Chains A and B, each alone.
Chain A
C-alpha cells in the first residue's frame, strides 16, 4: 500500500491556476491553514473556491487569488464579519455563487454520489434564485407535486482539509465534536489532500478513540501532510482552541503586513517545513 505523505509545498505543486478547490472546516474552525499558507506562497491563482468560508476565503480574497467563490457565508465566528472578504466583495473583486448552507451540503452530496443534482427544499422564494440565474427547479413526480431547487453537484478538482490524526495511507481521524463536511469534500473532489496534527501508525488511530472518529477513508485521499498547528489560528478541538489574539490581529492589520509575518515563517508559522 502506498505511502501518501508529502509536504504542504508538494501538495501545492500539484495544483494549477484556474482549478476549483474545496476547503474543509467551517467558519474559523479546523481550516487547513498550513495548506492555505502554502497556496498563498505559490503563484497559483484564478481559483474557484468552494467553502463554508472563514479566514481561508478572507486570505485568498485579500491576495487576489479568487476568480469565483461558492459559499453560504464567510465569517470568523468570534468576529462575525470577515474584513478582507468584505472589502473584496465591496469592490466586486470576484464572481459569487451565494447559496444556502443546506443547498451547499446537498451540492457536495450530489457530487459525492455522482449525481448531476439533488432536490432541496431551500432557496425557493428567496433571492438565492434571483442572484443565481443558472439554478433550475424540479417538480416531484409523485402526487405531492412539490417544486424544489435542483442543487447542482459541487464537483472540485481538489479538496483541502485538516484533521487531528491520520496514518500514512490517508485514513483521517476527527477527534473534535463536529466533523463539519470534510469527508464529503474528500468524496466529492477528484483529488483530496489531508493535513493533520500528527501522523500515527494505523493501529494507533483506534487505540484510545472509537472507530466512528475515522472520518476520512484512504480511497478518497491523494496526499497526507503532517502539519502540527496546521489549523492555527482557527480552532482544532481537542488539540487547541482558536487563537483569538492572532485572529484579531489578522482582522485589524493590512493584509500585506500580516502576510509578511504569517506566510514568511515567522513566529506564528507553525508549519514544520
Chain B
C-alpha cells in the first residue's frame, strides 16, 4: 500500500505525541485530530482526548471525564497538555499569528483573535499545523505575535515548540539560535520546493530525511477506523 500526502501528514502529526505520557492531546484541525487519535491507538496509549467540547473521551467516543473550558484552561497552565494549533502566519522563531493581517489598529483582514495562543505557548508544549505551506504563511515577521516564538519567549520556564507540520514537511527549532529547521520532507517533496514556499531563510541540514512511512497497521487504522470518509484528502490534496 502506498501512503498519500495527507497520510504522511497524519503520521507527522501523530509523532508529535510520541512518548508524551498521560497528558491531553489537543489537536486543532482535521489531520492533527486523526493524528492524535492514531497516536492514542498505537504508540501513545496513555494520551487523553476530548470530544472538542467539554468531555474527555476514549477514541470510540465513550466519555471518561469532564473538562469544561474553566478546567481546560487550568490543565493548560498545569502543563499536562500538548496542543497543535493552526497558524495564519508563522515566522522563523515560531511566532504565530491568528489574530489579524496588517496593522492591528485597523487590520486589512480581521481573523479569529489571539484566542489561547499566548497562554498555550507559555505553559504547555505547542506545535503547529499548516495545511497549505506558502510564503503567505511562512513569513519573515508575523503581523501580530499571538503564539510566542523562541526569540520573544526569552527562556520562559515552560515554553517549548516541539514541531511544525505542513503539507510539505516537518520542522523543528533544533538550531543554535532556535530558528526553524527543516527536519524532514514528505515523500514526493523536494527541499527546493520547501525553500521556494518559505518566506524566510530556513535552516537546512546537509542530509534531509523523508518523513517516515506509516506501518501497515497505521494505514489500516487511518483508512478503516479513524477517517473512512477520507476527509483528510480535503485538507491536503494529493
Contact = CB atoms under 8 A, between A and B. Distances in A.
Interface of A: 26, 53, 71-75, 80-81, 85-86, 89-92, 98-103, 105, 120-128, 130-131, 146, 177-181
A89 B119 contact: no
A92 B123 contact: no
B234 interface: no
Contacts of A177: 53-55, 66, 68
Given A89-B110, A125-B154, A131-B104, A102 B73 contact: yes
Contacts of A74: 112-113
Contact of B123 (A99, A121, A127, A181): A121
B107 interface: yes
Contacts of A124: 118, 122, 148, 156
Interface in B134-150: 144-148
Contacts of A26: 69
B119 to A, nearest CB: 4
B110 A85 contact: yes
How would you classify the secondary structure of chain B's contact residues: helix, strand, loop or mixed? loop
Interface in B68-109: 68-70, 73, 76-77, 99-100, 104-109
B99 to A, nearest CB: 7
How would you classify the secondary structure of chain A's contact residues: helix, strand, loop or mixed? loop
Contact of A90 (B106, B113, B146, B148): B106
B20 interface: no
Interface of B: 53-55, 66, 68-70, 73, 76-77, 99-100, 104-119, 121-123, 144-148, 152-154, 156-159
Contacts of A86: 109-110
B19 to A, nearest CB: 25
A103 B111 CA distance: 19
19 contacts: A73-B114, A74-B113, A86-B109, A89-B107, A100-B114, A101-B73, A101-B119, A102-B76, A102-B119, A103-B118, A121-B122, A122-B118, A122-B122, A125-B148, A126-B148, A127-B144, A127-B145, A180-B68, A180-B69
A92 B114 contact: no
B69 A81 contact: no
Contacts of A146: 157
A119 to B, nearest CB: 11
A179 B105 CA distance: 33
Contacts of A81: 110-112
A125 B156 contact: yes
Contact of A89 (B73, B100, B115): B100
Interface centre among A73, A105, A123 (most CB of B within 10 A): A73
A128 B156 contact: no
A81 B99 CA distance: 11
Contacts of A92: 105-106
Nearest to A71: B113
B118 A100 contact: yes
Given A177-B68, A180-B69, A181-B69, A123 B111 contact: no
